[in-house]
Structure 1
Amino acid sequence: MTILPLATFCCPPLLAGNLTAAEANDIAVLFRVLGEPARLMLLSAIAAQPSQEVCACELVESLGLSQPTVSHHLKVMYQAGLLTKERRGNWIYYQIVRERLVFLRKVLN
């Protein structure tokens, strides 16, 4: 009887199959964006909100980052399609694009 290593048994190869250049680029962009710890913290903070949205102004104090830093990271995540935004008066509210997270989950499965 052959015993397979645990990693082989529980985890199929990442992205089994052939990717097109466009698919590979799209996936790489998302991983680059999420490769920054501050962005993961921001994504987590937004996801933790009961309404699944948060005003950018609320993220500055809660994460201990400067306003320009938070704005920059939110902009990068928005441009990558991970967030949507809506202006309400002087404030901008951000929401996670669930479809992008589902896409990443499928890539990792």
Structure 2
Amino acid sequence: MDIDAIHKALANPVRRQILLWLKEPQAYFAQQEHGLELGVCAGLIDERTGLSQSTVSAHLASLQKAGLISARRVGQWIFYKRNEDVIQAFLHQLHHGL
């Protein structure tokens, strides 16, 4: 777990918002045609943020580099999910390490 990469990723409010949406995908992405167990399609995240695809892609890359989300390609689509194990380990470290 790269604590510095996680802090850097969480320093941006858009990235924190994406993590919140991915925490409850059924509340924010119910219109997705594929099952949410795959994760959330990048295009729907783009739409919800209202930002350009390239900007959202950079945010998702930062979250993925930090290990906070994982990506899965299915055909032409990429689906993103939270990595709950890393998030919980980070929270544990934050709570007990300071």
TM-score normalised by L of structure 2: 0.78
Matched with 1:46 is: 22
- Tell me the distance in 2 between the aligned counterparts of 1:79 and 1:36: 14
Which amino acid counterpart does residue 57 of structure 1 have in structure 2?
G
Matched with 1:107 is: 93
Among 66, 83, 97, the residue aligned to 2:52 = 66
Quick one: percent identity of the two aligned structures? 33
Which amino acid counterpart does residue 72 of structure 2 have in structure 1?
E
Matched with 2:64 is: 78
> What is the number of residues matched between the two proteins?
85
Shift of 1:108: 2.7
Which amino acid counterpart does residue 92 of structure 1 have in structure 2?
I
Q: Mind listing any 5+ residue stretches in structure 1 that lack a counterpart?
A: 1-22
Q: Which structure would you say has the larger Rg?
A: 1
- Tell me the distance in 2 between the aligned counterparts of 1:105 and 1:82: 12
Among 84, 88, 91, the residue aligned to 1:98 = 84
1:89 aligns with 2:65: no
5 Å-filtered alignment, 1:18-33, equals 26-33=2-9
Shift of 1:61: 1.2
Shift of 1:107: 2.1
| More helix, by proportion | 2
Shift of 1:49: 0.6
- Tell me the distance in 2 between the aligned counterparts of 1:47 and 1:57: 17
